[in-house]
Each structure stands twice: as C-alpha cells, then as structure tokens.
C-alpha cells in the first residue's frame, strides 16, 4: 500500500527529522557538520524557508522550519541528496546516506506542541548523554538563540524569541528557563532502574551520578534514597563530574 503524500501547505511549520540509512552515521566529524550547515543555508535560500531551529547528531538531525511556499518535499529532497553526495565524496563512500523517508510533522495552531518542539531540539544531545547543558552542544542553534554565540545568518532568531517576550533579553532568559525546566530524558522513554545504573557492591562514581541525573532524569532525592545517603552528598559528588 503506498504511503500517503506529505502535507504541504504555504506557511506550514514543520518538525523535521532525518536518520541515517540503517541508523548509521551521516556525520563523522566537524567538517561534515560544517558542510551540512552550509547546505542547509543554501536550501533555505533556494526554497525561501525560514529555519527556526536545528540540531545535528551523528546519525540524524532535527529541524524546525517554516515553508512560506508549499515546497517541503522538494526542499528536503534537495537538502538530503546534496548533502549525501558531498558526504559520500568526502569519505569515498557509495550508496544511500539517509533512510528513504524523512519525518515531517506539521505543527498546527497548537502552542503547547510548538513550545515542546522548541525545547525538544536543544535537549537532544543532553538526553543522549553527550553534554550536560544544551548550550554546550556547538551543533545546534540553541546557543545562538540565547545569545551566547553569534547565530548563523540563516537562522530566524526573532521568530522564536517573540514567543517568549518582546524584549530580547527577557525572551532569552525565559527561553533558557523553559529549556532547563524540562526533564533531562525524553518522557516517552523509560529509564533503566537505579539498581542497574548503580550495581550493588560497586563504588559510585561521580560520572555515574551525573548520568543518572542528566541522561535518565532521576532527581537528586531519588538517587539519594536509592543510595541511602543525604541529597547534599549526592549533589556534592556530582559537582566533581561537572
């Protein structure tokens, strides 16, 4: 049975995801990341998109974009095929880099959904255990949105900030609070039990405490109860892994 066609509407806002073929890596190094961002900038210009947010991982990427014209299918085909060609050439590869079908969820007039997507993207590397803070991941738009680095010219910063406040400084503060208030794991995923994270009879490393908190979303109080210690002791030891 053929898959239904993409919903393409002028002015559509989409959360786009794309994974490597067989979930394999489509980014090997920082040069690949720079090539992808340059390719995305060209796609934005060619198809007159508005890129509101992005996050690059090793085997997939996320975009939050708006299509003034109903052209997401053409634009995504160009973006993925152009990057795949450059990626394969750089690494002397052949064959598909990406899986055949990208994910594109149209975000309708649902403020709650859009607000969740705004913080879902920068939290992706945190929930994957790659970094402890969203702003530490160089390959997402978040640090640029909150003013820690110069954002790329193609990023539509004002669109996101206006959802939080008219004043830029206040908007950045509220955006940062919104991201930091999220659970550090994807709520759709079940974390391993603490008895697995902290095997009985083994020393508790600071890095493991930090992983239980930032990657799996356990609170300091939950960790302390499991380890039969005071929360302040957990917090103190976690700081040594920061």
The full DSSP string for 120-150 is: HHHHHHHHTTS-SSGGG-TTBSHHHHTTSSP
Tens digit of each residue's pLDDT, the chain (242 residues): 445 566 789 999 999 999 887 678 889 999 999 999 999 999 999 999 999 999 999 989 999 999 999 999 999 999 999 999 999 899 888 777 887 678 888 987 666 789 989 999 999 998 888 888 999 999 999 999 999 999 999 999 999 999 999 999 999 999 999 999 887 665 556 667 788 788 887 889 888 887 777 667 677 888 888 898 998 888 888 877 55
Q: Which residues contact 160 (CB under 8 A, 6 or more apart)?
A: 52, 53, 118, 145, 175
Residue 167 to residues 66, 125, 143, 150: CA-CA distances in angstroms? 23, 28, 18, 18
Q: Full-prediction pTM beyond 0.85? A: no
Helix (H) or strand (E) holding 179: helix 168-180
């Amino acid at each position: 049975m053929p898959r239904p066609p993409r919903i393409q509407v002028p002015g559509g806002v989409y959360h786009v995801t794309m994974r490597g073929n067989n979930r394999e890596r489509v980014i090997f190094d920082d040069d690949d990341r720079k090539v992808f961002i340059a390719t995305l900038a060209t796609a934005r210009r060619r198809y007159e998109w508005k890129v509101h947010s992005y996050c690059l991982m090793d085997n997939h990427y996320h975009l939050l974009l708006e299509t003034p014209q109903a052209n997401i299918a053409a634009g995504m085909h160009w973006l993925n095929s152009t990057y795949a060609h450059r990626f394969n050439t750089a690494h002397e590869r052949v064959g598909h880099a990406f899986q055949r079908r990208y994910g594109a969820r149209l975000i309708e007039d649902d403020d709650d959904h859009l607000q969740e997507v705004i913080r879902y993207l920068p939290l992706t590397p945190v929930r994957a255990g790659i970094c402890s803070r969203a702003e530490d991941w160089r390959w997402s738009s978040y640090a640029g949105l909150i003013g820690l680095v110069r954002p790329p010219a193609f990023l539509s910063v004002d669109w996101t900030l206006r959802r939080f406040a008219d004043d830029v400084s206040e908007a950045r503060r509220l955006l940062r609070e919104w991201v930091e208030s999220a659970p550090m794991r994807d709520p759709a995923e079940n974390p391993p039990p603490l008895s697995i994270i902290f095997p009985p009879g083994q020393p508790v490393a600071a890095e493991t405490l930090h992983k239980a908190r930032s990657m799996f979303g356990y609170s300091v109080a939950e960790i302390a109860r499991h380890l039969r210690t005071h929360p302040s002791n957990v917090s103190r030891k976690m700081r040594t892994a920061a």
